[in-house]
Amino acid sequence: MKKQLTTNEFQGVAATAGSKLIHRSAVRLVCHRGRIRDNVLSRHKPKPSVAVMQHAAQQDDSDQRPPPMKQTRRSVLASAAASVLLPTAADSILAAEPAASVPLRLGLVTYNWGKAWDLQTVIANCAVTGFEGVELRSTHNHGVEITLNKQRRAEIRSRFADCPVELMGLGSACEYHSADASQLRNNILETRAFLQLSHDVGSSGVKVRPNGLPKDVPVEKTIDQIGRSLNEVGKIAADLNQQVRVEVHGRQTSELPVMKAIMDVADHPSVGICWNCNQADLKGDGFQHNFDLVQDRMATVHIHDLRSDSYPWADLFQRLRNVDAPSFTGWTLLEDGKVPQDIVQSMHDNTRLWKQLAQSS
């Protein structure tokens, strides 16, 4: 029987791996930068201003995504089994110039502040409050779903092309931790559909997630499964000039040593981290250590309401300004579960605070 590791021992294994990090994926990411980063940064030029937009555009497609699959119960991480799959020494270390830092940009995730808005209202409210981009969450009222036909996809692409707000990505609930092989395959197929939708509507990537470690399954087996699944969808993303953004999410899987172990397996250059500003980021060896574990794979960031002092925002933005990962898009996207009474005013407030944080020396 394999020796069962305590939580601290497991984190120690992953942390040791972090100190011995081999930048094998960085070389592949540098080579891939011309596809993903050029695709994202090519849209950084200013877009034409628009007049005040209508807040009630009628959707002409009422198709909805099938209901999400039933989730299995998650156990609390009391002890972790065996060792974590680590990078192989066979990967070459090649010298490459560091990537230039990417300007930070402010966007909105429509979970939950914009979930009730139609597409025109999303665009209007982002434009008037200074939010440059949006990640549209699936299943919400704006109706950008994998069931849309080609005509509707083309209409959405055209609408964003002619407005000052960039559709920078789509938010899915695709996940790869299930011990049920059919559920896992369905999630991979659904990810393929979201990547095709993202390509068709003109965005640059899809947010996915792990959502916990299944009970009675060895930790290293689940980590390997998630990582290999991400590599599979990463290959699909590369063919479509898209990026898979893995949200730091889920019980146990939101712990950064676990997330780093997943990303060590998921070394495809089209796969990057979506930093999620969780309270777990501050635990263990602390924020700086946890950030450093995955900063070389950073793609996007989900921030929360900046009016709250529950997270070290100044420290986060200081570190984000120095991220040179080739996968980093610069997008910092506001996502908060607590919905304020006046969402638009709250967006104005957050724009003001974001500018102070993003421009601080």
**Sequential DSSP letters for 228-263:** HHHHHHHHHHHHTT-EEEEE--STTTTSHHHHHHHH
Flag whether pLDDT at 65 surpasses 80: no
How confident is the model over 18-42, as a mean pLDDT? 39
Torsion of CA 186, 187, 193, 198, to 10 degrees: 180
Tokens matching residue 108: 């909105």
Closest CA to 324 of 92, 97, 106: 97
pLDDT of residue 360: 78
Chain-wide mean pLDDT for the chain?
81
Tokens matching residue 64: 């909805």
- Residue 31 · residue 269 · CB < 8 Å: yes
**Which has the higher per-residue pLDDT, 68 or 310?**
310
Q: Both ends of the chain: CA-CA distance in Å?
A: 54
Using DSSP bridges, classify how beta strands 79-81 and 4-6 pair: parallel, antiparallel or unpaired.
Answer: antiparallel
Provide, rounded to the nearest whole percent, the portion of the chain with pLDDT above 70: 72
* pLDDT tens digit sequence for 100-141: 679 999 999 999 999 999 999 999 999 999 999 999 999 999
Question: For residue 40, what pLDDT band results from cuts at 50, 70 and 90?
Answer: very low
Name the one residue in this structure whose structure tokens are 């009970």. Answer: 215
Question: For residue 14, what pLDDT band results from cuts at 50, 70 and 90?
Answer: very low
For 154-165, b where at least 16 C-beta lie within 10 A, e where not — what string? eebbebbeebbb
pLDDT of residue 100: 60
Query: Which residues have C-beta within 8 Å of that of residue 283, sequence separation ≥ 6?
Result: 255, 290
Distance CA 108, CA 332 (A): 8
Can you list the domains of the chain with their CATH numbers? 4-44+110-359 (3.20.20.150)
pTM for the whole thing? 0.75
Distance CA 85, CA 228 (A): 11
* pLDDT tens digit sequence for 217-260: 999 999 999 999 999 999 999 999 999 999 999 999 999 999 99
**Which has the higher per-residue pLDDT, 41 or 275?**
275
